[in-house]
Chain A
Amino acid sequence: MNLSIRQLFGRKPKSSSIAKQRLKLVITQDRFDVDDRVMTRLHHELAEVLAKYFEFSANSVKMDLKQEGNSYILVADFPYTKFHETNMRQ
């Protein structure tokens, strides 16, 4: 409201609205970076556990965080080549 009326009068945008815009962008990026680090760690830890049971090549693994409405869904693809025999007998 405030802003649109000021724009109507053709003034320069106030520095506070520039601040807000820049902050929104940078914070989205910050949050994503943090998530990214957590995902990398989770990726390693999951791979470590799964490697006890399956054989797979590390670069075939895909992990993705999807947002649906208010919740997140973690989708992980670990295409395996075979079970470890030892584990199957237990």
Chain B
Amino acid sequence: MGRVIVVTSGKGGVGKTTSTANLGTALALLDKTVAVVDADVGLRNLDIVMGLESRIVYTSMDVIEKQCELSKALVRDRRVDGLMLLAASQKNNKDDIQPEQMKAICDKLRTTHDFVLVDSPAGIERGFSNASAGADEAIVITTPDVSAIRDADRIIGLLQNARIEPINLVINRFSPQLVGNGSMMDQDDVLDILNIELIGVVPEDSGVINSTNRGIPLVYEDGSPGAQAYMRIARRLTGQRIPIHNFEQKGLLNNIVNWFTRKK
């Protein structure tokens, strides 16, 4: 039985869709079978970020309305084995789908895939309850700024109430330079506030916008810091133990201090 993982955040625009596309692709590159599900009904994006927009015929709405079989609505990504996308309807809205209907789709997908990743809309409304209805686990995406972190805390509370666990945190758009000069919180600060398990840190990477422009997830072209970060997270999801990468660039003074105060 596969694992259903909802990719969510409190604040919008922090990188849920980017992360779902890259983690889904990365897991498939690691020989897992993966279904990525766009749960952002009415504002679908996962198809275009993954470069599959021209091949969408059916959506989860058609499956729910029994217009077509689930297997027929899945679009196979031809660039890698074992990766499928279930698109969201663009002409409907979030109230047209019931949480139980999303759960039924997820439960069916998990019988045929190792991982089912659900790209959630932002917020704590209906879209969130739909996206998380079928999930066992969650990945919460946040950027290291006050609004995103505050809203992440709210979402984490809702996920805990729904008994979804583990809840893993991804810190996205991390900037070592900004942390270095003291204008961005580092990962320890964020973890100290949110108090959940960190599964990865994704740096700010201009490759993300280029990859989105072309519809080719970053991880296909390994090498950029963002791609490497997503590959590491995917490996951690499969159970590999990989230490959290340290992006921080410390100044000379800090380096000297760290050298003297380091533990063993």
Contact = CB atoms under 8 A, between A and B. Distances in A.
Interface of A: 1-2, 5-6, 14-17, 19-20, 22-24, 26-27, 30-31, 34
B193 A24 contact: yes
A34 B160 CA distance: 13
B257 A19 contact: no
A16 B179 CA distance: 8
A27 B150 CA distance: 6
Interface string B187-223: 0010011000000000000000000000000000000
A31 to B, nearest CB: 7
A69 B239 CA distance: 32
B257 A23 contact: no
Contacts of A14: 181-183
B254 A23 contact: no
Contacts of B189: 16-17, 19-20
B154 interface: yes
Contact of B183 (A1, A16, A24): A16
B107 interface: no
Interface of B: 145-146, 149-150, 153-154, 157, 179, 181-186, 189, 192-193, 253-254, 257, 261
A1 B261 contact: yes
B153 to A, nearest CB: 5
Given A1-B257, A5-B257, A20 B157 contact: no
17 contacts: A1-B257, A5-B253, A6-B182, A14-B181, A14-B183, A16-B183, A16-B184, A16-B185, A17-B189, A20-B185, A20-B193, A23-B149, A24-B192, A24-B193, A27-B193, A30-B153, A34-B154
A23 B146 contact: yes
- Of the listed residues A1, A23, A31, the one surrounded by the most CB atoms of chain B closer than 10 A to its CB is A23
